[in-house]
């Protein structure tokens, strides 16, 4: 029997994943045996061992295949936890086990609320009660100003994984995170304008937010910006670059002069 394992998203279990770029040279050095990926279904970025890619060319059979798959899955979750720990200061698993984190979350600490919410949503048992509780903690964190929680809620509301799909809520949280200067929020807002999800499609505004995210060192936004730029006329591109430098009161109102195409 032959088995060709593929990289899958540890958050939504989706198989539509593409290779992403390293966020920094240091990240690449710290994970030389891994490759970065981004899920096309929920936009989650994660690391996976290079061995998990052998389904592209190497065929493994019998018990060895099963062992390799188990090792790949375990490594993917471990690396994802490590990456999240670097970004938030504590892994999701620690957040659920550490009573101090829960205590801080209950006391109103937005960072602790975010970590607790993420941990509950990533529960491997897919317990509906944990998902609902995780979403509530994320909402509290977002309402208390945590932009990471806003982005997670925006993505989940768009995909409908773990919580009910709601494009209006998705746009609300992503717009707020972008307006507060979060580079990942800027990237996501550009995608919402490009695709017309929760807000009116507007390619000029999509370029604006991809451009701002690129200036904030978001490497994925650079690729998105160049792709959207090829769809704009010279006048639209000039206008988009002009708007990129403007500082609107709320940061995300459509300009209205350059409607989206298609």
Q: Indicate the domain borders of the chain.
A: 2-88, 90-145, 163-262
- Confidence at residue 176, expressed as pLDDT on a 0 to 100 scale: 96
Strand pairing report for 60-61 and 2-3: antiparallel
pLDDT along the chain (262 residues), means of 10: 56 74 71 79 74 44 45 46 42 55 87 88 74 89 94 92 90 95 95 94 96 94 95 95 77 41 38
Q: Tell me whether residue 206 is exposed, middle or buried, using C-beta atoms within 10 angstroms of its C-beta: 0 to 12, 13 to 18, 19 or more.
A: buried
Give the Cα separation of 206 and 230 in Å (integer). Answer: 12
The radius of gyration of the chain from alpha carbons, rounded to an integer in Å, stands at 19
- Confidence at residue 127, expressed as pLDDT on a 0 to 100 scale: 74
Tokens linked to 21: 């770029």
- Confidence at residue 19, expressed as pLDDT on a 0 to 100 scale: 82
- Confidence at residue 75, expressed as pLDDT on a 0 to 100 scale: 47
Tokens linked to 213: 């995210």
CB 92 within 8 A of CB 118: yes
Assign 3-class secondary structure to the chain: CEECCCCCCCCCCCCCEEECCCCCHHHHHHCCCEEEEEECCCCCEEEEEHHHHHHHCCCEEHHHHHHHHHHHHHHHHHHHHHHHHHHHCCCHHHHHHCHHHHHHHHCCCHHHHHHHHHHHHCCCCCCHHHHHHHHHHHHHHHHCCCHHHHHHHHHHHHHCCCCCCCHHHHHHHHHHHHHCCCHHHHHHHHHHHHHCCCCCCCHHHHHHHHHHHHHCCCHHHHHHHHHHHCCCCHHHHHHHHHHHHCCCCCCCCCCCCCCCCC
Q: To 5 degrees, how large is the angle CA 170–CA 173–CA 177?
A: 135
Give the Cα separation of 68 and 70 in Å (integer). Answer: 5
- Confidence at residue 262, expressed as pLDDT on a 0 to 100 scale: 36
Give the Cα separation of 208 and 215 in Å (integer). Answer: 11
pTM score, whole prediction: 0.60
Which of 143, 165, 141 is CA-nearest to residue 155?
Answer: 165
Which of 205, 207, 202, 251 is CA-nearest to residue 230?
Answer: 207
CB 11 within 8 A of CB 122: yes
- Confidence at residue 62, expressed as pLDDT on a 0 to 100 scale: 46
- Confidence at residue 124, expressed as pLDDT on a 0 to 100 scale: 63
CB 1 within 8 A of CB 62: yes
Tokens linked to 138: 């994320």
**CB count, 10 Å around CB of 105?**
21
Strand pairing report for 34-39 and 60-61: unpaired
Q: Which CATH number applies to 163-262: 3.40.190.10, 3.40.640.10, 1.25.40.10, 3.40.50.300? A: 1.25.40.10
């Amino acid at each position: 029997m032959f088995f060709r394992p593929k990289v899958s998203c540890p958050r939504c279990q989706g198989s539509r994943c593409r290779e992403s770029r390293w966020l920094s040279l240091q990240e690449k050095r710290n994970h030389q045996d891994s490759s970065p990926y981004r899920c096309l279904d929920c936009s989650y970025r994660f690391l996976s061992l290079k061995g998990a890619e052998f389904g592209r060319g190497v065929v493994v059979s019998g018990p060895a295949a099963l062992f390799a798959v188990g090792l790949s899955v375990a490594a993917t979750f471990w690396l994802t936890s490590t990456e999240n720990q670097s970004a938030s200061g504590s892994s999701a698993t620690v957040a659920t086990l550490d009573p101090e984190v829960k205590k801080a979350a209950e006391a109103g600490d937005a960072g602790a609320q975010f970590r607790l919410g993420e941990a509950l949503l990533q529960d491997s048992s897919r317990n509906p009660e944990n998902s609902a509780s995780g979403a509530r903690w994320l909402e509290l964190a977002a309402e208390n100003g945590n932009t990471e929680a806003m982005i997670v809620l925006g993505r989940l509301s768009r995909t409908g994984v773990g919580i009910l799909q709601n494009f209006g809520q998705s746009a609300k949280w992503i717009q707020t995170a972008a307006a507060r200067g979060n580079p990942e929020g800027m990237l996501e807002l550009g995608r919402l304008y490009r695709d017309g999800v929760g807000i009116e499609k507007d390619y000029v505004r999509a370029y604006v937010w991809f451009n701002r995210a690129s200036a904030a060192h978001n490497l994925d936004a650079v690729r998105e910006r160049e792709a959207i730029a090829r769809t704009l006329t010279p006048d639209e591109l000039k206008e988009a670059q002009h708007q990129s430098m403007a500082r609107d009161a709320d940061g995300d109102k459509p300009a209205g002069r350059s409607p989206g195409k298609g």
